[in-house]
Each structure stands twice: as structure tokens, then as C-alpha cells.
Amino acid sequence: MPTCTFVPLKLLFNTASSQLLANSKFSTPNPAVPRPYSTMASTDDLSQHREGGGGKPMLARHRAQEAPEAQASQQGRPQYFPLGYKEGFSQWWAGLAPAQTEHRVLSYVPYLQKPPTHTQTGSAPPSTNTSTMSVDKSSDKAATPVRTNSITDPYGPRQWHSKLVQLAGKNRFLNEFSVERMGEETQNNLVMLHGYGAGLGFFYKNFDALSRVPHWKLYALDLLGMGRSSRPPFRIHARDKEDKVREAENWFVDALEEWRIKRGIEKMTLLGHSLGGYMAVCYALKYPGHLNKLILASPVGIPEDPYAVNEDMPEPNDSTMQNEFTQPQEETSGKTQAGGVKPPRKQLPKWLTTLWDANISPFSLVRLSGPLGPRLVSGWTSRRFSHLPAEEAQALHDYSYSLFRQRGSGEYALAYILAPGAFARSPLIRRIHGVGRQYQEIHFKPEPDSASTRSTAQKVRETGVPVVFMYGDKDWMDKEGGWNSEEIIKAEKKKALENATAREKELENGDAKTRIIKNAGHHVYLDGFEEFNRVMAEEMKDVERRQRRLGEL
């Protein structure tokens, strides 16, 4: 699968299926025994759980710090899942809620030792409500904004706020984290979207740096049905395969548009990672006229694969997805062989494509695994966060597991959008030319309008949106998708200018480029966060320059 937030599926499935029955007596804790940490814990509480109550450190990086005799006793333990059974059971039993683990991750944001964390969602473990992530609208569960001053915050004063934004319909809420510069007029908005199954907490290395840019307000959102946003049932009613893809895409982008309207944002710079990048492109196509810039960090679903997208859309027999799950952080690479020839892709097992067809998500296996869940998740977190300080890696593991075990919702969209592997059912390479070239009217689907023609008084086209593709130099995602898209966007710009009016030529704002972040993999915003933050600041300044130029016309 295309992104970053679950463990190796084959290993997870085999381990879970062989041990689930043996451990089934632990699947539901004794209700007479109190579950620790069922409400918001303080930093000290979480530290005690990590260092004492939760047993030994669970990540491989932590184990290297243990006494030699302790290490020797664990030599026979499988390396794919470094967390032991005892430690895994302890974490499962503790039942840390998403609000707690998100709070802990955000405590590592510089100058924000006491982050605001609303507890309107994710304040209790999932066993207390098996139907959905419960939503508590009471005011005492809302978070009070935290303000830093120029004494405690050299880049302040800034206001940090955690909020649950209600949308229309039953049980539709988006989890939002924002950073606003105080004493300044907000002239631009940066909106950040995470990848598949993840949450806004994964951007904790970016919040401080990106909110230093004057006159910008930063928003990070949990996609509907993921993170700490509400988890309404995900249902597809379409019968046609292509319509199923569009319905799944609309499920996310319609919620984003409703949020934008609620926030009163006319235009924004939209940053999306992996699946968030895919949805950002879909948003640009369906809701034109609201973007100043589109930034795609290792986006999924761009390249075309004939096995995944032909008329009958059969499932492919191979994929590059296993790189994300089985290779250590430092070895993950998207490089090709000499001469530009890619290495042959390995065949996916039949059982995995069967599970995919049945829309069994990897998180379903984590939930069904009960006490084995934390151990299975450690197979992914120990690899992907090994480059981070030990306590931060631990916090991200806890955060990941607390999200993975929540009720399934938006995660079920993946099988409709992607074939088994990293290829889209409706690849963006076929649609990317429409970004910034859409008629500014109501669109019902994230599809490009017809080839560029001269606008009329009744139908006015967009005059281009700058698009930035970002990949890590060790990214397993195919960088060629970005380079090819860049060429397509530039070719569409040339075509549009040939038919443009004099005024449209003056307003032309389209552009595309691909940037490579050094020493980074798929999690480009986290692996190479320092360079990523510098590049992002440059792109934000570029938005301002473009606005000044257009404002002078």
C-alpha cells in the first residue's frame, strides 16, 4: 500500500492469524479491572507509563540502550516485531487514547511544552464505544488556545489551538490544529493534509518552523475518518468502477471544501503528503479558484500502470509497496538501476490481493490482534522512526497504535482508489493537466475540463496554479511521476497561452517544479525536516511574490 502508517502486511497477517486464537481470551479486558490512562494524562503520567508502567522500551533503538544481559535474553526475538509480548500486552491493556498520544507528540514542538489538546474526540480507548470514535460537544472538553509570548518564544507571540470543526450531516467533524501569529494581519493560509491512516501529529517537526513566516496562519487537519476526526461509516453506492473511484475521492474533498467555507478562507496554499497529496490534486480539480499553490510531498497515485487502470481494472500481480514496509529507514530507496531501468517488481501474494478485494484494511488486522496489536505495529515504527530521538520515536509509536486501533472509516477508501500496490485506479498523470486550468464553475467530480480553449464571458478559466512536487532522495515513491507531471503541466500552460486573451496572459500564474530533499525517504517532511522546512519557507515566500505581481496588474 502506498504510504507510511501501517506495519508489514504479510508479516502482520501471518503473525496475527497464527496467534490470534491463542490469545483470544485477552481480546476483551475484564470490566472489573480499571484500565489506566483512560482520561487525559499529564506528561509525567505518560513518562511513567513509558519508563515504568509500560515495561521495557519497545523500539529497537531503545533496546540498544539496555543492559547487555537484557539484550542477550532477547536475541531469539524476531526482528520484524521488536516489541515483546509482555510489553505489547502492557500497552494494549493501558489503552492510551488518541487525545493523550497526540498531546504527547505535540509536546515536542519547540516552545510548546504544554500544547492545547481538545478531548472532544479520542479521549477514551475504543473499547468504551465500539460503534465509532465518540464525539463530546460539551464545552469543558474543548481546548483553550495556548499563547506564547516574545519572552518564552523567540518567534512569537503565537497562538496555538486544537479544535474540532463540525460539518453538515451526522457524525462529521474534522480535527484541526492551528498556529496563528499574534499582532499581525493574516494574509495567507497554509493547510496541511497527512497520508493514509496517519494524523496531523506527524507534522510536529514542521509546525514551529513554518509558523515563523510573517502574516501566515497554519492549519493541519485530520482527514475525515482518520486521525482524531470523527469516523462516520464509509459507504460507496456507485456501481460503475470509475464512479466508485470518484465517490471515494469526493468523500474526502467535499469535507475539505466544507471546512474551508466554515473557516472563511478564500484562497490557501495546500500541502498534501502521500494520500493527502492525491486528495489535494482532486480538490484542485473539483473546487477550482481556491488555491494559491499546490505542494505535493511524495504523492501517491501519479504514475500509470496498465494492469491497474485498464478498462476492466483487474488487480495487478506486482507492486513496489513492500519497500515501505520491509526496508529499514536508511535503506528505503526509490533509485533505479543503471541506464534508467527499474528493477523488476516482486509478486504480491494471492492472499493479499484477496484481502484487498474484500476491503480488509491493515488496521482491521491490528484491531483483531488484540494484545498482539502493539507488537505488530512496532514492526513498522521501529523501522520508520529509528532516526529520531528515542523518546520522540516512542511517542510516535504510541500515537500510531492509538490511531490504528480506532474504528475503521476513511481507511476503507483505499481499495477503491488504488489497486494492490502504489498505482491508482484513476492515475493522476491523466488528470494533472487540469490543475489550475479548470472553468470556475461547479464541478461534480475531480476531473479535468476539456482541452484548453479561449474563455468566454460566461465561462472563465483559471489562469494557472503553481505546483511543487517534493520527494526524498531515498523515497520509494516513483519520482518519475513528479517529473512527468511537471512536463505535462508546462505543456498545458503553453497550450493555454496560445489561446489566451491579453488579460489572461497577464494573469498567467501556472508553473511546476520537482524538488528533492536530501537524506529523506517517503516521510520527506519528517526524515529531512530541516531542509523540508527551508524549502517550504521559500515556497511560501514565492506565493507572496506572485501575489504582489498579480496585485499590481
What are the catalytic residues?
274, 475, 522
Strand, coil or helix: 55: coil
Q: What is the dihedral of CA 403, 408, 410, 411, to 10 degrees?
A: 80
Cell digits for 206? 514542521
The residue with cell 506528561 is 43
The residue type of 232 is P
Residue given cell 500544547 in the structure block: 115
Say if CB 254 and CB 261 are below 8 A apart: no
End-to-end CA distance of the chain: give it in Å, rounded. 46
Cβ proximity of 404 and 377 under 8 Å: yes
Residue 193 neighbours by CB under 8 Å, 6+ apart? 221, 223, 256, 270, 271, 272, 273, 276, 277, 279, 280
Beta strand segments in 359-464, E: none
Q: How far apart are CA 318 and CA 335, in angstroms?
A: 18
Nearest-CA neighbor of 348 among 117, 9, 97? Answer: 9
Nearest by Cα to 466 from 489, 494, 440 = 489
| Residue 323, C-alpha cell as written in the block | 519497500
C-alpha cell at 393: 520515536
Contact 269, 540 (CB under 8 A): yes
Sheet with 146-148, side-by-side order of all strands: 146-148, 158-166, 173-181, 216-221, 188-193, 268-273, 291-297, 466-472, 511-517
Q: Which residues of 497-516 are buried (b: 16+ CB within 10 A; e: fewer)?
A: eeebeeebeeebbbbbebbb
